[in-house]
Structure 1
């Protein structure tokens, strides 16, 4: 009941994930990323702790494959888990357990991995990777969103989707983009609209965290 893309931008080392599901609040459970470390999707019958375990392993020096292997070795129910990993060097790893739901598949691309379950058909994941890789945008978030839109256009899930999220980390310790649609009849288009709202303010809020003396004001009463 989820389809997801995780990726690293080769030119900048930026890491990100875009995810969509028929269940509510998918990004809160499935999406994990840490600047300079990696990005992880933990989905299907989700164990959110797997994402943190993989990130801790990556931070300790493991690559994507080793971190995923270690996480699955200590997981009591690996057959129910689907996990996608990209590390800070662009290495990828993926796992779809034997108990993954419905039509399920994962695939690895150039510093990117995608996977899903309860899909309309297996071509959804190929479309997701192709939509991302073939994007003409120079903006990482927009490339991720184009991958998500391509997956939805290819059929997405077997049933209607209701939540989506976009999470990106760059050169600061907090996410520079963390957008979520927790429940909607049109979560992908709503997420795109949220990105359009966030895009012109993204760098300003990064500056606020680094140096408030250079932070712009948005005209809100009591603002800087």
Structure 2
């Protein structure tokens, strides 16, 4: 039903998530990231509250990813239905897959990343994601999307995928990338990639506009001089 990857860029410190699902609007429920703190993917009969709870524990109680994940899960009655992955601001990782995870499921930690999925065509889908993330050069978003493409090429989910999302945080407290394909009859990951390619050249400008409007590039609309 879902496969995802959370990761950190060693050079920039950016944190992010790429995720896809057979369900509608996966980006509204499953990816959670906080600048300077961490990134969490919560999936498989999703409890969205786990994302912000784990991030709160990482930020305010200064627990490591394993301890934050364990504590958050201990507070939920239905933890065996969850699959959760975490990467923190130092690149440390944690993961959990409950006994009630759907279908073929797997989770693998790599170098500053964790990939996980359920209702997979094959467990090797997750191995392929980690390998692609580690071997791809460039921006964190490029590496996360490369992992998603690798998942599809390795077989992806057992059924059709309909939604996908990409979220990246950097220095500002808001996400610098928050792109979603909420429903597509075919290949939402390719559509997400196309959104990223369109957004990439504008990403920095939107940050500049927010922090210092007088230094912002032209908006490119009638009346803007």
| TM-score above 0.5 | yes
Instruction: Quote the residue 1:202 is aligned against.
Output: 203
Aligned counterparts, 1:92-131, within 5 A: 92-131=93-132
Instruction: Quote the residue 2:18 is aligned against.
Output: 18
C-alpha separation between the residues in 2 aligned to 1:159 and 1:11? Answer: 36
Gapped regions of structure 2 (runs ≥ 5):
none
**Divergent runs of 4+, >4 A:** none
Question: Per-residue CA shift, 1:89-120, capped at 9, x if unaligned?
Answer: 11100000000000011011111001000000
Instruction: Quote the residue 1:218 is aligned against.
Output: 219
Gapped regions of structure 1 (runs ≥ 5):
none
Instruction: Quote the residue 1:152 is aligned against.
Output: 152
Corresponding residue SS for 1:93: strand
| Deviation (angstroms), 1:221 | 2.7
Question: Per-residue CA shift, 1:105-156, capped at 9, x if unaligned?
Answer: 1011111001000000100000011111111x32111111001100111000
Instruction: Quote the residue 2:33 is aligned against.
Output: 33
Corresponding residue SS for 2:29: helix
Corresponding residue SS for 1:94: strand
Instruction: Quote the residue 1:74 is aligned against.
Output: 75
Corresponding residue SS for 1:115: strand
| Deviation (angstroms), 1:27 | 1.2
| Deviation (angstroms), 1:218 | 2.9
C-alpha separation between the residues in 2 aligned to 1:25 and 1:199? Answer: 22
TM, length-normalised to structure 1? 0.98
Corresponding residue SS for 1:190: helix
Instruction: Quote the residue 2:56 is aligned against.
Output: 56
Corresponding residue SS for 1:161: coil
| Deviation (angstroms), 1:217 | 1.3
C-alpha separation between the residues in 1 aligned to 2:58 and 2:179? Answer: 24
C-alpha separation between the residues in 1 aligned to 2:144 and 2:30? Answer: 16
Question: Per-residue CA shift, 1:48-69, capped at 9, x if unaligned?
Answer: 0000100000011111111001
C-alpha separation between the residues in 2 aligned to 1:12 and 1:200? Answer: 18
Instruction: Quote the residue 1:140 is aligned against.
Output: 140
C-alpha separation between the residues in 2 aligned to 1:99 and 1:148? Answer: 24
Question: Per-residue CA shift, 1:144-177, capped at 9, x if unaligned?
Answer: 1001100111000001100000000001111000
- Measured on the aligned residues, the alpha-carbon RMSD in Å equals 0.9
Count of matched residue pairs? 223
Q: Does 1:162 align with 2:162?
A: yes
